[in-house]
Amino acid sequence: MQGKFIIWLLATFLLAGTSFAQAQQLKVYHVGVLVVGSADIPQIMGLRDGLRELGYIQGKNLALDISAKDTYEEYRPLVKSYKEKKPDLLVTIGG
């Protein structure tokens, strides 16, 4: 009788642990993208596609913050902003 109780107790803890793990939210990775010029470029689509192939889905476990400016001088406030946000990754695209 005591053996059945111990098995029941272990099963309860295992199932409770599984439910708790499933209830935890996925980590959302924040990626900042700085682009010189237009953000409507193939590199952005390639970045999204590559991240998706690796399992990072925008809106699920990935947040992309894309900022496009025409000149490098416009980047100073953006860089300061990203420094405060502390993204997991910062990508720069430009020429």
Domain boundaries along the sequence of the chain: 25-93
**Comparing C-alpha atoms, which of 82, 85, 84 is closest to residue 33?**
82
80 vs 20: which has the higher pLDDT: 80
- Strands 62-69, 89-93: pairing is unpaired
pLDDT at 11: 60
Q: What is the mean pLDDT of residues 50-70?
A: 92
What confidence tier does 53 reach under pLDDT thresholds 50, 70, 90? very high
- For the entire predicted model, the pTM comes to 0.67
40 vs 54: which has the higher pLDDT: 54
18 vs 44: which has the higher pLDDT: 44
